[in-house]
Amino acid sequence: MPDFSLEKACSGYVTGFDEAGCGPWAGPLVAGAVLLIQEKLPQDLACQINDSKKLTSLKREKIFNHLMNLEGEACFSAMGICSVNEIDASNIRKAAMCAMERASRALKLPFSITPCLGLVDGTLKPELSYPVRSLIKGDTLSLSIAAASIIAKVTRDQIMKDLSVLHPEYGWERNAGYGTAYHRQALTRYGVTPHHRKTFAPVARLLIDEKSKLTIVKSSQV
């Protein structure tokens, strides 16, 4: 379980960062930034915070709501989002760092609180106004990173649920845009939406196939 060991090793305030949505075929990438005030965070809540992937959706949402209720007191959080177009224009790694940098800039902190360190899950090192330390499986080590993973995951899941209302065929409210068998079959049947990542291999291959078919049809009409 994550704890405050890494945060306590720093002589000041620490911001945790994590992202949600690097792997899906559709939807934006969301990064969370969370600065927790250790002495004000309820112990019963701290004991529940964990890597978002190890929590059920109901548990994540419950913790998310608790953190939102503590916003501006024991918790300061923000999100950064990179759109599908931005992901396709660069690459997913650059998009993840961009989203984290946006989340950092979006943090609304009082003048008395200045981060001295950013703890980032994985190997990414976004350009922040303070030093950054990246940690493999950081969301299992640091409460700040784990909280950021929950903020990012719950936010992105809600975005995908909203998009599923516009495009119900793909099951995004259940698969969050990941490449499940259902999503793959729907993509083949209904085609590519504006919310699909066109540079991701399965989507790119489908676009090439559709273009080839269109070329063949046009050639046969000549």
pTM value? 0.93
182 occurs within a structural domain: no
82 occurs within a structural domain: yes
Rounded CA separation 19/87 (Å): 14
Q: What is the pLDDT of residues 126-136, one digit of tens each?
A: 999 999 999 99
218 occurs within a structural domain: no
Q: Confirm if 170 and 187 have CB atoms less than 8 A apart.
A: yes
Overall residue count recorded for the chain in this entry: 222
pLDDT at 220: 41
**Domain count across the chain:** 1
pLDDT tier at 69 (50, 70, 90 boundaries)?
A: very high
pLDDT at 211: 58
Joined tokens for residue 7: 């945060």
193 occurs within a structural domain: no
Rounded CA separation 86/90 (Å): 6
132 occurs within a structural domain: yes
24 — phi, psi (to 5°)?
A: -60, 160
Q: Confirm if 207 and 201 have CB atoms less than 8 A apart.
A: no
Which CATH number characterizes residue 160's domain? 3.30.420.10
- Domain residue limits at 163: 5-167
pLDDT at 222: 44
94 occurs within a structural domain: yes
Contacts of 107 (CB under 8 A, 6+ apart): 15, 33, 35, 76, 77, 78
13 occurs within a structural domain: yes
Residue 151 has pLDDT above 90, yes or no: yes
195 occurs within a structural domain: no
Q: What is the pLDDT of residues 28-54, one digit of tens each?
A: 999 999 999 999 999 999 999 999 999
pLDDT tier at 210 (50, 70, 90 boundaries)?
A: low
Alpha helices in the chain (DSSP H): 5-8, 43-46, 57-69, 84-89, 92-106, 143-166, 172-175, 181-190, 201-221
